Amino acid sequence: MYRNFTTKNGIGNRYIHKILFIMRLTTVLLMTAFMHVSAASFAQRVTLKENNATLVSVLQKIQLQSGYDLLFNKNILNKSKSVSVSLNHVSVKEALIATLTNLPLTFEISGQTITIKEKTLSIMDRAVNSFKDISITGKILDENRQPIKGATVTEKGTNNRTKTNENGDFTLLKIGTNAVLLVTYVGSTPLEYKITDETKSILIVLTPLTTKLSEVSIVSTGYQEIPKERATGSFEKVDNALFNRSVTTNVLDRLDGITTSILFNKRSVQGKQKYPSIRGISSLSGSEGQNPLVVIDNFPYDGDVNNINPNDVESISILKDAAAASIWGTKAGNGVIVITTKKGKFDQPLKISLNSNVTITQKPNLFYLPVIKSTDFIDIEQYLFKNGAFVGYVNQMFGNLSPVVQILDQQDKGQISPTDATNQINALRGGDTRTDYMKYLYRKSVNQQYALNISGGSKQISYYLSGGFDKNMNSLVTSDNNRLSFRSNVTIRPVKNLEIETGIQYTETKDKEIGSQFPIAYGNLNYLRPYIKLKDDNGNPLEVDASPIYLIKSYRDTVGGGRLLDWHFRPLAELNKSSNTTTLRDVLLNVGAKYKINGIFNASIKYQYERNTGQNVDWEGLGSYYTRDQINYYSDWTPAVVKRAIPIGDIIQTTNLNQASYDARAQLDANKTWNTIHQLTAIAGVEIRQNHNWSQGNRVYGYNGNTLSTQAVDYATPQVVLAGNDSPALIPRSDDFIDLTNRYTSIFANAAYTFKRRYTLSASIRKDETNFFGVESNQKGTPLWSTGLAWDISKESFYDSGLLPFLKLRATYGYNGNAIPGQSPRPVISYIKFPNPITQLTYASVLNPPNPGLRWENVRVINLGVDFALRNNRLSGNIEYYDKLSTDVISTIPTDQGSGVLTVKKNAANLHGRGIDVNLTSFNIQSPSFSWVSNLLFSHNRVIVSKYLLPPNLPDLVNYNGTANINPVQGQDLNGLYTFKWAGLDPLTGDPQGYVNGKISKDYNALTNPTSINDLDYQGSATPTYYGAFRNTFTYKSFSISANILYKFGYKFKKPVLSYTDLYTNGFAQTGSDEYTNRWQKPGDETITNVPSVSYPANSLRDLFYKNSSATIENAANIRLQDINLSYTINRPNIYFKNLRLYANMNNLGIIWKATKTSYDPDYVLNIPNPRSLTFGLSANF
């Protein structure tokens, strides 16, 4: 059983042995430690070696080894300087004497208790000590030999300290003999200096915190690496530790809730967005114009972002304003996400790293989506049948009748008795389709990650090799995906001043779902009644009449005289009868060379080639309902032998996907520092880029897997369908061809000048040209630029604040852009694959009329920021205000109808976004063994449509619920919610009421066809305008626990509501139909409910008015506990590993508070929230 379990879940014996080995090793180590402690306590002997340790820690270790109780005043001990001892199997008394030597302390031993107290000094001792106190003067300089103002000089182990003046000078009074001075300054490496009796004056030169800068303060733009202290723009850095705080197989998902400005829309129709927005939206052109640019190691990435293995990522930089992102020109209007991957280092010994984890996620909670109770739904069906609602359906061929209606019809026709009918119906009352879905179609998902990398280097070469495998068993029983990745990066120094870098990345992903014609996921089958069962009591799959069924059961059971294929739909019997498999292969090759010309200039060239190939195979086997239905539908059974236009066999739709990108760049870098006060960095270069996408689709019929053969069909001739009972129709055909090539050329330059390490001026300029804008050559390009200023006030001579030792101001102004692929200034037509039904000639439709004035979208960005740090970095962070104005935004405008088209795309809209970002870090507690760090993220963003020429479509406006296409209205939020004005329920009838011309009305035709936008209520934004996170991390020795709380405010959502039209006419239980229980039933109910009374026959306009009225609006504000992360790190190198980290992560833990009293999660509404997940993993370095 054990072997079967581990093998079935993808855990090989090799990994089991490793886990058992680690468990045994840990047990041995723990037992050894316990035995050592016990033996030491019993013998009451002390063996200890400490160097410059605190007195408290030394005494605590003596207590631990001796077994004595220790009494002392910690305040007295904290005044003492550090001590160094070397003890080998000595008595407790000898250990205490050695420890307290030269300290103003003494001790007493009474039984098993040791008391430490201050030594009483004689008058002579006090006189001698007064002469021993000495004073020290000195000067502190930086690495450029410039005076440092505000450096702290402390006598180590005491509270005796001072600060340097504007000349870097200091004087420290009354320090003891053999004292050690500790010199600290923000951004510099702390330095200790030993004082002797002869020391009178000292000179100390501090060095930059190089390790800190490389890990935290260096941000990458994709063109250059910039120390954040010299940056004027808005950058957000996600280092490796923060990036790996969460465990997901997708890179971008890890950014959710850990940086400012980033926002994912989880209400979209497809679920959570693949790409987040950065500081709002800057375009109206869908995902092509609204997604941020993703850059991997210097070049834009055109492949599927899911191909990127998170284990290969070293850090991520978010470029948010013009100064940070304008270097990317027309691709940076929505921000830039720069991914820096791991690389080897020169002069680094061989390093092997392993990371492995498994994530178990609960089943999705289908009961989150509230629907009407089965017994109430059945009562409605009986009521409708009694009132003749189904008379026109039960005896015709087209339709979809529920089981209850079929039972009532059989009773009505005398085929079953009333008692049998009642018993069969009552047996359905207690059923809930969601229960069967949860039991048979959903499972706990299991995601496994394995990653191994090897890195190292010598003086001439550095290397990094990695491999990764992800095995994901998704929650739907028919769905899984795997990813295999390999990566190599090698840098060599063949000759002096020359570096050559090469990189290879290969990724292969395979996603498998059930066939696209049978989307089994809950909610995808229309007309699914709430009581439907998927299996009978004996475990046999049951027939289900739901979409895609369109013919009533009695017709399908009898037509064709038994000569047709099985025409019943049994979902659980068809789970393996179809599949939709997508296989993607991504190859990324890059090569670059950098030559150091002299101490100032570097020249580099880079080239990247990316090739994506993929194939989607949508197989619908003969055992699937879709294939059997298609064959039967295109059949004529009137002859003795059934004529089939579609042959018996499988139906396969294949789509081949191809993409190739070429990028080349030549760049010159300059870096010069002179006279210790001037520093200039600059880059300039040119680049070219081409992106080619092409695909081809093909469908075959009559596929036989044994003979690997297909059969031809007649696509050109309309075929007899349903034996002539329906109009002739063409056989579905899919052989689409797509071929699109986009080319870019660019020239760019960027420079930053810093004076006295206080004032920084930056500027950049770039011109992009492309083949899909402009008819004339001078219309194809656009120049974009930015400039910025930074002032480090804390380095000014007049600035002297012990409370706020670091203060810096930044300001930037500039232009980014948006280039929207697919737009063209030239006319574009699409050939129709079938001949014109009248002329029988090939014809085409106009996709894009001539549009010679089409040009780039521009995004003007102003950014103002302040960076600060309190004493000892107790509280640090930054606050930024930004103003984004998108002009020449491509939008739809009405045009002259005489041109043959009603609307055309023009640069005719403007969007205006403003916001604030706040990022605070607080070190609440810091001690050698325990720390508590808090991070507060706050973002405010609001995008207003400042110009839009197309008059709003009022019915579309009220139908918008935050998930569909944006409907811009000039002067309002881009994602605004609009509703019909609500006047409550009629006290006498329970009918919903609104306002027409300012008066209460039940004229639903007038209510649902407003003549002016003033007839609607504006509810505000459908997306959060205030959002952020509050993260706390607690560390105790080798243990760490971190929790992240997310919050969102300032937005609304439209809750799903009851629709009698859906219940009566369409016959299915829609989300929100649970309101039926709370409907108006008698006068007075209007004071406790807004749910309209029963109306039969259903009035669709009455339902539409209620659905889109103000009564459906809810406050979406919420606070949620997103995750908790725990880890334990073993930093004790041994023959097996250098260090080992065990970690666990609990994600999607749930809402702490929400403003709405409904059951809906405001972030998801109609989408089922992500279930809770639990991850266990380990990472090790060897």
Q: What is the mean pLDDT of residues 31-49?
A: 49
User: Mean pLDDT throughout 277-290?
Assistant: 85
Lowest-confidence pick of 174-178, 473-477, 555-559, 1139-1143: 174-178
The whole-angstrom separation of Cα 263 and Cα 937 is 12
SS3 of residue 26 by DSSP: helix
- pLDDT for res 11: 42
- On whether the CB atoms of residues 83 and 50 are closer than 8 A, the answer is yes
What CA–CA distance (Å, rounded) separates 1130 from 1113? 52
pLDDT on residue 207: 78
Indicate the pLDDT class of residue 76, thresholds 50, 70 and 90: low
Over residues 1150-1181, the pLDDT tens digits come to 999 999 999 999 999 988 999 999 999 999 99
Backbone angles phi, psi at 1104, to 5 degrees: -65, -40
Domains of the chain (ranges; CATH) run 2-121 (3.55.50.30), 124-208 (2.60.40.1120), 222-343 (2.170.130.10), 366-441+519-573 (no CATH), 580-586+597-755 (no CATH)
- Per-residue burial over 882-903, b = 16 or more CB atoms within 10 Å of its CB, e = otherwise: bebbbbbbbbbeeeeeeeeeee
Terminal-to-terminal C-alpha distance of the chain: 33
Contacts (Cβ under 8 Å, ≥6 apart) of 256: 262, 264, 276, 1122
Report the C-alpha gap between 742 and 661 in whole angstroms.
Answer: 10
Q: Which two tokens stand for residue 879?
A: 């606050």
pLDDT of the residue at 779: 65
- DSSP letter at 531 equals T
Is the CB of residue 260 less than 8 Å from the CB of residue 266?
Answer: no
pLDDT, tens digit, for every residue of 107-144?
888 777 788 887 765 555 554 444 455 778 889 988 77
Give the whole-angstrom CA distance, residue 894 versus residue 901.
9
Rounded to whole angstroms, how far apart are CA atoms 1039 and 1128? 5
pLDDT at 75: 63
What are the tens digits of pLDDT across the range 806-831?
999 999 999 988 877 777 777 777 77
Q: What is the mean pLDDT of residues 741-764?
A: 92
pLDDT score at 22: 42
Residue 851 corresponds to which tokens in the numbers above? 């549009």
Name the residue with higher pLDDT: 347 or 21.
Answer: 347
DSSP 231: -
How far is residue 423 from each of residues 384, 394, 430, 528, measured CA to CA in Å? 19, 21, 12, 21
Residue 1017, classified by CB atoms within 10 Å of its CB into exposed (0-12), middle (13-18) or buried (19+), is middle
> DSSP 3-state assignment of 463?
strand
Structure tokens given for 937: 């993220």
CA–chain centroid gap for 274, Å, is 7
Longest CA pairwise span in the chain (Å)? 129
Separation CA 531–CA 435 (nearest Å): 10
Q: Which residues pair with 644 in a beta bridge?
A: 635
Ramachandran quadrant class, 989 (left: phi over 0; alpha: psi -120 to 50; beta: rest)? alpha
Closest CA to 987 of 1085, 1089, 1078, 1103: 1085
**What pLDDT is recorded for position 270?**
52
> 238, 316 in Cβ contact below 8 A?
yes
Residue 21 has pLDDT above 50, yes or no: no
Predicted pLDDT at 607? 97
Confidence (pLDDT) at 24: 47
What pLDDT shows up at residue 518? 82
Q: Please tell me the distance from the alpha carbon of residue 880 to that of residue 886, in angstroms, as a whole number.
A: 19
Task: Look at the alpha carbons of 422, 424, 425, 427 in this order and tell me if their dihedral is positive or negative.
Answer: positive
The H helix count followed by the E strand count for the chain is 20, 56
For the chain, give the percent of residues with pLDDT over 70.
90
- 3-state DSSP call for residue 321? coil
Which pLDDT score is estimated for 133? 55
Mean pLDDT of the chain: 87
Provide the pLDDT for residue 7. 38
CA separation for the pair 765, 329 (Å, rounded): 9
DSSP assignment of 759-788 equals EEEEEEEEEEEETTS-SSGGGSEEEEEEEE
Q: What is the mean pLDDT of residues 917-933?
A: 92
pTM summary value: 0.81
Tokens for 738, please give them: 């797509």
Query: What is the percentage of the chain residues whose pLDDT exceeds 90?
Result: 57
Residues 273 and 253: their CA atoms lie apart, in Å, by: 9
Angle, CA of 424, 626 and 628, to the nearest 5° = 85
More confidently predicted of 199 and 398: 398
DSSP label of 1014: G
Evaluate if residue 5 carries a pLDDT over 50.
Answer: no
As given in the structure block, the two tokens for residue 469 are 């495998």
Q: What is the pLDDT of residues 492-522, one digit of tens each?
A: 999 999 999 999 999 999 999 999 988 788 8
Tens-place pLDDT, residues 1062-1121: 888 777 788 899 999 999 999 999 999 999 999 988 999 999 999 999 999 999 999 999
